[in-house]
């Protein structure tokens, strides 16, 4: 091999190594920037599953709904549907979801919207312990709103 061929080959290898190193540094920097942004967003958001049971066999799911951290059961519902509610002594009371309105038949019977949360430990849905605007959701929660027939 001639000396000029060796010099050319060394020059090509040198340019290639500088280019490869520069590209690696660039992509590492891009990855770091995107990872910081992702970490920042995931610490400020939660992902929940929201079900709406209309009481007639229709069940609508909004799985993997992204909400801001600190979101309540009520704000989760309003993010996926049209909701009417009033504020009472204990907090927000939902009177209609997607135009399905509460129906009070008498003082002892009616249909109302109630919310439930899935208990991972027991594997059951449990009635919400407080008003929908008072319960702050955690990442991974599953809630279901049911149009429920009640009678005393």
Per-residue pLDDT of the chain (152 residues; tens, 9 = 90+): 677 888 888 889 999 999 999 999 999 989 988 888 877 766 789 999 999 999 999 999 999 999 999 999 999 999 999 999 999 999 999 999 999 999 999 999 999 999 999 999 999 999 999 999 999 999 999 999 999 999 99
**Token pair 């309105």 in the structure block, residue:** 101
CA gap 67, 77 in Å, rounded: 11
- Whole-model pTM over 0.85: no
Looking at the domain that runs over 45-151, which CATH code has it been given?
Answer: 2.170.130.30
Q: Where are the domains of the chain?
A: 1-43, 45-151
- Provide the 3-class DSSP secondary structure of residue 32: helix
């Amino acid at each position: 091999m001639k000396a000029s061929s060796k010099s050319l080959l060394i020059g090509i290898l040198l340019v290639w190594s500088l280019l490869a190193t520069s590209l690696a540094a660039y992509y590492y920097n891009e990855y770091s920037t995107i990872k910081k942004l992702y970490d920042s967003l995931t610490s400020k958001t939660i992902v929940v599953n929201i079900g709406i049971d209309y009481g007639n066999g229709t069940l609508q799911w909004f799985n993997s709904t992204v909400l801001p951290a600190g979101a309540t059961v009520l704000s989760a519902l309003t993010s996926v549907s049209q909701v009417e509610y009033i504020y009472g002594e204990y907090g927000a009371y939902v009177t209609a979801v997607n135009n399905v309105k509460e129906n009070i038949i008498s003082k002892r019977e009616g249909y109302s919207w109630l919310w439930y949360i899935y208990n991972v430990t027991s594997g059951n849905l449990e009635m919400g312990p407080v008003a929908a605007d008072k319960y702050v959701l955690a990442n991974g929660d599953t809630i279901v709103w049911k149009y429920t027939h009640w009678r005393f």
